[in-house]
Amino acid sequence: MTSIGSSAAETFQAGATMSGSDIRAAIEGRLSKLITSEASVSSNLHSALKYALMGKSKRVRPLLLYLIAEPDKASMDAVLDAGCAVEMVHTSSLIFDDLPCMDDASMRRQRPTTHVTFGQPTAILSAIALLTRAFGIISNLEGVPAATRNRLAGLLSDAVGWDGLVAGQEMDINSRATLRNAADVEQLNWLKTGVLFVAAAQMGGILRGLEGDRLDAIGDFARHFGLAFQTADDLIDTTGSEAEAGKDIGKDGDKPTLVSLFGPDHARLTCQQHIAHAEQALIASGVNAAPIRDLMKLVFDSRQKAASR
């Protein structure tokens, strides 16, 4: 079973409240420990996956999972580990997305992409290593019943698979030119971004013990959050700078997005509408909304500033 050892859980005080920066630091520390290299692991491979995983990031998805789960001391290890598993899946998807046969990106998380730095073969292998490590972590969550671990693994698997991130990438590469309306673009945004937001949020909800309408509301919240996130990202791709985005911009080119089809003003309005719907669903879920609102503000303030230039 995995354990965070002498970090956040052992220093947690009953009744204490961790700030967003404290939680992010705990996530960063746990990510680093979870990829500690064994003697049998190639140093080059380990360096590549560590390079990809530990690049500068707001850690939105694991933070979202943690804030929804709102763990006590006893459950903190499992919640942190589950969030790290989601982050590994996300990072794996970015490595694949950046490859020359996909988006052919040269910059990610404010530095050269993994395949640029380590070569395509090692980048692909590091993405596979992170993806498989994620499910290994879920299968060994400390203090979580087997049925719950299976349920979490199923949610994450669905988010990755042929009707999740993989489907979104296939559509982006081979079918995007056929998109002609907002519904088509939103479906692509859902598959490329929204599905993993929902998986992270509902995993947090399950670890918290939410069921029924409250868990559905958390999923609805995360769906709108993810769609707003992707729309804001598309705005940055059009109007922002590489320094602000932390990655290549202009990669969408003439690809259909809400920005290219309907203009920046329409895209900003759609983003605001998704944020409003997310807020309504968040209230309906009954979870502690204040820290989640702070996370959304952190995410969208920086994106809206970049996209408005």
**137-157 pLDDT, tens digit each:** 999 999 999 999 999 999 999
C-alpha pair distances (Å), 280 with each of 8, 190, 222, 225, 265 = 32, 19, 11, 11, 23
89-103, 164-178, 212-226: which range is least confident on average?
A: 164-178
As a whole number of angstroms, the distance between CA 224 and CA 156 comes to: 18
The answer to whether position 248 is within a domain reads yes
C-alpha pair distances (Å), 104 with each of 114, 115, 249 = 11, 10, 12
The answer to whether position 72 is within a domain reads yes
Three-state SS for 108?
Answer: strand
| Residues 27/84, Cβ–Cβ less than 8 Å | yes
Is residue 5 very low, low, confident or very high in pLDDT (cuts 50, 70, 90)? Answer: very low
CATH code, 283: 1.10.600.10
Is residue 240 very low, low, confident or very high in pLDDT (cuts 50, 70, 90)? Answer: low
Q: Residue 180's pLDDT is what?
A: 84
Residue of 226 and 262 predicted with greater confidence: 226
Per the confidence metrics, is the pTM higher than 0.85? yes
Is residue 239 very low, low, confident or very high in pLDDT (cuts 50, 70, 90)? Answer: low
Three-state SS for 111?
Answer: strand
How many domains, the chain?
Answer: 1
As a whole number of angstroms, the distance between CA 170 and CA 197 comes to: 19
The answer to whether position 277 is within a domain reads yes
Range of the domain at 182: 8-307
pLDDT digits 0-9 by tens, 92-104: 999 999 999 998 9
| Residues 267/231, Cβ–Cβ less than 8 Å | yes
pLDDT digits 0-9 by tens, 267-293: 999 999 999 999 999 999 999 999 999
The answer to whether position 2 is within a domain reads no
| Residues 79/71, Cβ–Cβ less than 8 Å | yes
Q: What counts of helices (H) and strands (E) characterise the chain?
A: 16, 2
The answer to whether position 104 is within a domain reads yes
Mean pLDDT on 184-196: 93
Classify residue 112 by its DSSP letter.
E
The answer to whether position 87 is within a domain reads yes
Q: Residue 197's pLDDT is what?
A: 98
Per-chain mean pLDDT for the chain: 88
The answer to whether position 142 is within a domain reads yes
The answer to whether position 188 is within a domain reads yes
Mean pLDDT on 177-203: 93
Is residue 252 very low, low, confident or very high in pLDDT (cuts 50, 70, 90)? Answer: low
